Structure 1
Amino acid sequence: MTKFTDFLRAEGFAGTDNEWPDSVKRFPDGAQCRVEIPSVEGPAVLDAVLAEADARGVPVHRVSQGSGGMLLTSDELRRMAGIGRQRGIEVSLFARPLTGWGSSAAAQASGAGALAAQARGIEQVVHNLEDIERSVEAGIRSVLITDLGVLDIAARLRAAGEFPAGLRFKISVQMGLSNPPAVRLAEKLGADTYNVPTDLTLGQLAAIRAAVDLPLDVYIESPDDQGGLVRHLEIAEIVRVAAPVYLKFGLRNAPNIYPSGTHLEPLAISLGRERVRRAQIGLEFLDRRLPEAVMSKLPADDLAVPA
């Protein structure tokens, strides 16, 4: 214990990363957990993911996409929104472009990889906002953001009525904030859910949960470029300490397909189907180890279902 630990406790933070208290926080429907399938890169992939989920009895509450609304045609955007609306699920599209896809030399340097997921200069901030606007016009009501400045301005535009009040800001794992004060800052700026780094311990997850009320997005299996962790046997403890939590099923030993397109569609469909299979495995372990865990039923009123 130090004076700084005492100060943090007085500010509502945990004083240690070595405690695993049960979270008493919940989704508005009283549930502890939901399922997210990432890297759903277009309407054909979305159709395949939902067909696989139906066949396996896996509830899918939210799908997310990494290539950005900017790499979907207007018709594809409307189709993504239409499928999500029909199924009553949240469809979250990345806001792009970002530094890593631009002319930055630093973003390619070995010591500056964190720059790749940030908006570079004021014009990329504007481009991100335009990408959000285009997705919103197609009916999308959930977007992924990685840059704090973009989050701040997008939230101000939402408050001013320029973006719909029901638009959700899902923070990407690439933002990288890894401690309770930092994640609380994102929440204050307008984040609606936060995807924590993939390698946080149970104690670190519990400390973040104590500091914020927004749902946490936690990879149960993460892509190789995000650590390649396979945490299926920790799923019950993750639900217990991090609720309300989106259980996110990425895929280890799989290629990075961003930016995706029709040239990669068969691969994206195959990967999407396997992510659903991994979700089935994870949920079987959850039922085995924490059978009393409460999963949201579909439809859930507070999901950002496309308009």
Structure 2
Amino acid sequence: MTDAPATAARRPGEPALAALGLGAPPVSAADASPHTFPGGGRWRTEIPSCEGPEALAVVLKESSLLEVPIHRISQGSGVWMLTDAEITEMAEATAERDIELCLFTGPRGSWDTGGSTRTDSGGAGARARGHDAVAGCVEDALRATELGVRCLLVADEGVLWTLHRARTAGLLPADTTLKASALIGPVNPASYAVYEMLGADSINVPSDLTLPHLTEIRRVSAAPMDMYIEAPDDLGGYVRMYEVAELIRRGAPLYLKFGLSKAPGIYPYGHHMRDLTLATARERVRRGRLALDLLARHGAEGDMAPLGSRLPGTLRRFDTPS
């Protein structure tokens, strides 16, 4: 990571409010993130929940029509819900446009036979229950990377550490990136730093974290952060578009994820959900256009990382066993 000045963008409505004597307090430079992505830029974009080649084609077409730049496209159902031909088609289509494709790994507790995830406490959530679930995630990782995928989404700390060790040992390509899922996102600086040390190259944080929370995290870690600017309902349904410039200022390097509230869940995806999946894929890109328009109006659009950039830079890791 390199240091970069983080100038504050124009705040929404500020000139008019200031004229009425209702202006906001001055912005403090001390709460801005000093970090950027390698090669420059403070934010990248991500379109999530792209559940197969057909949805991907919709996203790519709509992004061209609306001029929405995309750095990463991610999928949520899992590698195991796609055929080899579908994975290959998605990998080739994104590679042609220099977009990173990220696929979710393996079994997760919220879908298997464990009843605790259906209790009020949520049990262990999406984590991999038992050795066989970890093995399934590893199998997915090996299969996906053999088919050209270079980014893997992970929802378990043990799986994350295992895949990082596999990458270090040469069992996965060295340029494979590991993305910690929003389903296990850290909520404090100490846990964020642990995910970085376990091998995460970008880390989803819950979309209800406050602006001071982001500043606290950036005081201990420069690992790229993923954040839903609009979160799906099962992750809170938060819509934070008017905060997007300040989220970047405090959270950079930051992936802006364009989710969709008030939309039914589509995981695990199948063709019986085709119409809904294609419609929501199209609308996620439109939501991205709305957020980017806000950035432009507030004078913060110039800090985007170069298209095609995907690597996280040098990060801190725990020592791996020899």
Task: Note the 1:30-49 alignment, pairs <5 A.
Answer: 30-49=40-59
- Checking the alignment, whether the CA contact within 8 Å between 2:201 and 2:312 is kept in structure 1 is no
- 2:208 aligned residue: 199
- Checking the alignment, whether the CA contact within 8 Å between 1:32 and 1:293 is kept in structure 2 is no
Q: CA deviation at 1:289?
A: 1.6
Larger RCO: 1 or 2 (CA < 8 Å, sep 6+) = 1
> Secondary structure at the residue paired with 1:275?
helix
Q: CA deviation at 1:21?
A: 1.2
- 2:79 aligned residue: 69
- Checking the alignment, whether the CA contact within 8 Å between 1:36 and 1:246 is kept in structure 2 is yes
Q: CA deviation at 1:302?
A: 3.3
> Secondary structure at the residue paired with 2:102?
strand
Q: CA deviation at 1:76?
A: 0.2
Deviations 1:233-263 (A, max 9, x none): 0001001111110000100100000000222
State the distance in 1 between where 2:65 and 2:266 align.
25
For structure 1, list consecutive stretches of 5 or more residues without a partner in the other structure: 1-17
- 1:261 aligned residue: 270
Q: CA deviation at 1:303?
A: 7.9
- Checking the alignment, whether the CA contact within 8 Å between 2:178 and 2:201 is kept in structure 1 is yes
- Checking the alignment, whether the CA contact within 8 Å between 1:20 and 1:202 is kept in structure 2 is no
State the distance in 2 between where 1:114 and 1:200 align.
22
TM-score, structure 1 normalization:
0.90
What amino acid is the match of 1:214? A
- Checking the alignment, whether the CA contact within 8 Å between 2:225 and 2:255 is kept in structure 1 is yes
1:134 to 132, 143, 166: 143
Q: CA deviation at 1:300?
A: 2.4
Percent identity (aligned): 43
What amino acid is the match of 1:70? W
What amino acid is the match of 1:158? R
- Checking the alignment, whether the CA contact within 8 Å between 2:100 and 2:310 is kept in structure 1 is no
> Secondary structure at the residue paired with 1:211?
coil
Task: Note the 1:281-292 alignment, pairs <5 A.
Answer: 281-291=290-300
State the distance in 1 between where 2:162 and 2:299 align.
40
Task: Note the 1:62-211 alignment, pairs <5 A.
Answer: 62-111=72-121, 113=122, 115-211=124-220
State the distance in 2 between where 1:58 and 1:143 align.
23
- Checking the alignment, whether the CA contact within 8 Å between 2:177 and 2:311 is kept in structure 1 is no
1:29 aligned to 2:39?
yes
Deviations 1:27-69 (A, max 9, x none): 1121011110100000110110010000001101101110001
State the distance in 2 between where 1:228 and 1:302 align.
29
State the distance in 2 between where 1:301 and 1:142 align.
9
TM-score, structure 2 normalization:
0.86
What amino acid is the match of 2:145? V
Q: Structure 1's 174 and 294: CA in aligned 2 closer, same or farther, altered over 3 A?
A: same
What amino acid is the match of 1:294? D
- 1:295 aligned residue: 304
Q: CA deviation at 1:24?
A: 1.5
More helix by share: 1
State the distance in 2 between where 1:193 and 1:49 align.
22
State the distance in 1 between where 2:114 and 2:29 align.
41
Q: Structure 1's 44 and 218: CA in aligned 2 closer, same or farther, altered over 3 A?
A: same
Q: CA deviation at 1:122?
A: 1.1
What amino acid is the match of 1:276? V
2:221 to 173, 193, 212: 212
| Matched residues, number | 286
- Checking the alignment, whether the CA contact within 8 Å between 1:159 and 1:165 is kept in structure 2 is yes
Deviations 1:49-108 (A, max 9, x none): 010000001101101110001000010010011011111000000012111111101111
Runs of 4+ in structure 1 off by over 6 angstroms are none
Q: Structure 1's 146 and 114: CA in aligned 2 closer, same or farther, altered over 3 A?
A: farther
Q: CA deviation at 1:135?
A: 0.8
Question: What is the RMSD computed on CA atoms of the aligned residues?
Answer: 1.7
For structure 2, list consecutive stretches of 5 or more residues without a partner in the other structure: 1-27, 314-322
What amino acid is the match of 1:251? L
State the distance in 2 between where 1:292 and 1:255 align.
31
- 2:25 aligned residue: none
